[in-house]
């Protein structure tokens, strides 16, 4: 029976061609939009984790209350012991202390007087330790535009856009003017050995990257940091596991009455990423439902018109003794087969475009000027296992629903009427 129906679908293009085209286009759009949204979500979460939030972050409650002001005097102290204890308790995570700071980067001339200066957002990382993963994690080496990586104390990187704005060249001295953790003024000279470009507008405008030990010395933060970031070793965010260690950590270390006791935050507790993550997870369901509804209406009308043209055929089938229920069931089976064919074609088309966007991406840097979002200027789609079967859900269900509604007309019409239409 299935082979018989398949031959009918292939031979009678008036019956199947338009529904297959509609299903293919709808499925292709569904797959492409899903992979596009997954790519944006994955990039945003990944970039936010690497540069800002970590998969988990350890801070003090006092620091977190005014975190936007970067209050390093409220940061974590005696960090060596704390990091060792945390690493021993959660070996499946990699732990990295960081210092965030702001200030002015001053470029002197030959006489030592100010030639140019600008506000800087600084990041102190472990750049020089042999086992540090920070350079790889932030892809610093591959983001260098000019110069080289810092190789010793006192060497820094600044972003390419910032360097051009200040007119500073590789090898020149730059003076950081900031505030120490004790509230005094910090003035420290560094040598600019390279420039970087991350493709993140809010970072590329004015960022300085230095080894954390240099910043600890400059800001009077010996054995201290602003925050301690934790990353799952495979660098894949696992919400359930993150929540598990967050609850365990806070139950062990956090003290509700001590604002300087460490507490742990998950990625989804920061920057509104929890709401964003929940929204994106529900978006796929909403998107599939919308396409099922829209395509069902289109295919309902298509099936209705096709059914009208097939009244003669239905009359013949009734005349030879086929029941109305049997005709209805075969029409539904036929619609499922059309849905599967259209879904296969549409999925192939959608995956083809999605693969191109995954490899090449789309440059939206002109749209990101002035943005503070942690998102790449080149956004890409992302192929996931779900991408390969998601399109079959609206593709098959929509055709079946459309035929189910339109096929009801078979039961409403009298057999005598169908015979009369057959005679005419």
Do 91 and 205 reside in the same domain of the chain? yes
- pLDDT for residue 86 is more than 60: yes
Do 19 and 106 reside in the same domain of the chain? no
Q: Quick: pLDDT tens for 3-20.
A: 555 555 555 656 667 778
pLDDT value of position 270: 86
Do 297 and 404 reside in the same domain of the chain? yes
pLDDT value of position 230: 95
* C-alpha–C-alpha distance, residues 4 and 420, integer Å: 27
398 contact partners, CB below 8 Å, separation of at least 6:
23, 26, 291, 292, 295, 296, 299, 339
pLDDT value of position 9: 57
The mean pLDDT value of the chain amounts to 82
- pLDDT for residue 325 is more than 50: yes
Nearest one of 123, 120, 160, 152 to 138, comparing CA atoms: 123
pLDDT value of position 381: 84
pLDDT value of position 416: 54
**Is the full-model pTM beyond 0.75?**
no
pLDDT value of position 372: 47
pLDDT value of position 23: 82
* Element of type H or E holding 203: helix 201-204
Nearest one of 330, 335, 303 to 406, comparing CA atoms: 303
- pLDDT for residue 258 is more than 50: yes
Do 219 and 336 reside in the same domain of the chain? no
Q: How far is CA 236 from CA 231, 253, 270, 360, 380, in A?
A: 9, 25, 17, 22, 17
Q: Which of 302-306, 352-356, 408-412 has the highest mean pLDDT?
A: 352-356
Average pLDDT over residues 29-34: 85
Average pLDDT over residues 120-145: 91
Average pLDDT over residues 408-422: 58
- Percent of all residues in the chain with a pLDDT value above 70, rounded to a whole number: 79
* C-alpha–C-alpha distance, residues 225 and 74, integer Å: 9
Q: Is residue 251 part of a domain?
A: no
Q: Quick: pLDDT tens for 276-290.
A: 777 776 776 776 677
Q: How far does Cα 185 stand from its chain's mean position?
A: 40
Total of domains in the chain: 2
- Least confident among 50-54, 64-68, 296-300: 296-300
- Least confident among 127-131, 251-255, 335-339: 335-339
pLDDT value of position 300: 63
Average pLDDT over residues 66-79: 91
* C-alpha–C-alpha distance, residues 64 and 229, integer Å: 14
Q: Quick: pLDDT tens for 40-52.
A: 777 878 888 899 8
Q: Is residue 149 part of a domain?
A: yes
Q: How far is CA 399 from CA 17, 74, 318, in A?
A: 13, 61, 24
Last residue of a domain, one of 236, 267, 301: 236
Q: Is residue 259 part of a domain?
A: no
Q: How many CB atoms lie within 10 A of CB 27?
A: 30
- Least confident among 31-45, 120-134, 215-229: 31-45
Angle at 371 between CA 366 and CA 376, to 5 degrees: 70
Do 177 and 227 reside in the same domain of the chain? yes
Do 116 and 19 reside in the same domain of the chain? no
pLDDT value of position 183: 86
- pLDDT for residue 414 is more than 90: no
- pLDDT for residue 200 is more than 80: no
Domain containing residue 32: 2-47+275-423
Which position has the higher pLDDT, 324 or 207?
Answer: 207
Nearest one of 190, 168, 164 to 177, comparing CA atoms: 190
Do 301 and 367 reside in the same domain of the chain? yes
Q: Is residue 7 part of a domain?
A: yes
Last residue of a domain, one of 236, 267, 293: 236
Which position has the higher pLDDT, 202 or 142?
Answer: 142
Nearest one of 40, 67, 368, 71 to 204, comparing CA atoms: 368
- Least confident among 80-84, 351-355, 369-373: 369-373
Query: Could you tell me the pLDDT band of residue 319, with boundaries at 50, 70 and 90?
Result: low
Do 226 and 353 reside in the same domain of the chain? no
Do 141 and 287 reside in the same domain of the chain? no
- List the alpha helices (DSSP H) in 228-323: 239-252, 273-309, 311-319
């Amino acid at each position: 029976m299935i082979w018989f129906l398949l031959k009918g679908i292939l031979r009678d293009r008036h019956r199947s061609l338009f529904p297959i085209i509609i299903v293919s286009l709808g499925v292709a759009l569904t797959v492409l939009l899903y992979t596009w949204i997954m790519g944006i979500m994955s990039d945003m979460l990944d970039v936010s984790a690497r540069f800002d939030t970590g998969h988990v972050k350890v801070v003090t409650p006092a620091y977190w209350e005014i975190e936007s002001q970067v209050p390093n005097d409220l940061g974590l102290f005696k960090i060596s012991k704390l990091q060792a204890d945390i690493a021993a308790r959660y070996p499946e995570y990699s732990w990295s202390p960081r210092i965030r700071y702001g200030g002015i980067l001053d470029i002197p001339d030959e006489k030592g007087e100010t030639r140019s200066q600008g506000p800087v957002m600084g990041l102190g990382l472990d750049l020089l330790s042999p086992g540090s993963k920070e350079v790889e994690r932030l892809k610093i080496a591959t983001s260098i535009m000019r110069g080289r990586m810092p190789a010793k104390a006192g060497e820094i990187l600044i972003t390419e856009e910032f360097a051009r704005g200040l007119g500073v060249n590789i090898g020149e001295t730059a003076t950081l003017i900031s505030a120490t953790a004790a509230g005094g003024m910090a003035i420290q000279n560094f040598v600019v050995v390279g420039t970087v470009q991350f493709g993140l507008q809010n970072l590329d405008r004015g960022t300085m990257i230095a080894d954390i030990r240099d910043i600890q010395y400059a800001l009077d933060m010996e054995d201290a940091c602003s925050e301690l970031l934790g990353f799952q070793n495979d660098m894949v965010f696992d919400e359930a596991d993150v929540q598990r260690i967050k609850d365990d950590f806070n139950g062990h270390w956090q003290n509700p009455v001590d604002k300087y006791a460490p507490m742990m935050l998950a990625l989804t507790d920061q920057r509104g990423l929890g709401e964003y993550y929940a929204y994106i997870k529900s978006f796929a369901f909403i998107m599939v439902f919308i396409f099922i509804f829209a395509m069902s209406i289109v295919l309902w009308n298509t099936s209705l018109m096709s059914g009208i043209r097939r009244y003669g055929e239905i009359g013949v089938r009734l005349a030879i003794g086929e029941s109305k229920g049997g005709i209805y069931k075969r029409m539904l089976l036929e619609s499922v087969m059309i849905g599967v064919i259209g879904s296969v074609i549409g999925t192939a088309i959608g995956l083809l475009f999605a693969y191109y966007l995954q490899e090449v991406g789309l440059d939206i840097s002109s749209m990101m000027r002035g943005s503070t979002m942690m998102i790449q200027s080149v956004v890409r789609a992302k192929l996931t296992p779900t991408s390969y079967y998601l399109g079959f859900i609206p593709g098959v269900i929509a055709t079946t629903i459309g035929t189910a509604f339109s096929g009801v007309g078979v039961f409403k019409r009298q057999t005598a009427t169908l015979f009369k239409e057959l005679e005419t």
